[in-house]
Amino acid sequence: MKRNFLKPATSIEGVLRCCTPDETLVWGERWLDVFGRNRHGVNADDYLWHVFSGGRYPSLDAAEARAVYAAHSAERYILLSNDQRSAFVLDRKPVNWPERDYNVFPENLAWNMAFTHEEGWLGPYFAKHADYVQLEAANQQRLEKRRQAEVARARGWC
């Protein structure tokens, strides 16, 4: 049974907002355009992460995926439920979300971390966008601008 996990997110630190159903649909479509183009034949309708476990999109898995995920950061994160019924905008990278089967990615989809209910056997999976280098550079540039703005505020400059 597919679950919609809108309720748990409302009390989790770091959630800036819950996406509307229309926004959630757009995030799902964008995710599929990047990571799910070759999804047919791997039952990605039930589990989006099957594109990774089925070898349809290159990815790292298990401990290697977790290590790479830990090294990545973004200004904001999108958390998309596997059933594509819920999406959230977060200002902190989720590490221990209370549900399973979800994807985390920056707003420009430079990379994706897919958490699975099969973790330990299948997943998690970390994948990079085909234009990763360019998109990740943009993410880092935004983070640096935010850091500079925080320094300016702390010094009373704005």
Residue with tokens 């995920």: 69
Query: How do residues 123-147 score in pLDDT, each as one tens digit?
Result: 999 999 999 999 999 999 999 998 8
Q: What is the pTM of this model?
A: 0.88
All residues at 6 or more sequence positions from 141 whose CB lies less than 8 Å from its CB, including other chains: none
How many residues in total does the chain contain?
A: 158
Query: How do residues 71-111 score in pLDDT, each as one tens digit?
Result: 999 999 999 999 999 999 999 999 878 888 999 999 999 99
By the 8 A CB rule, do 81 and 144 touch?
Answer: no
Task: List the chain domain ranges.
Answer: 8-154
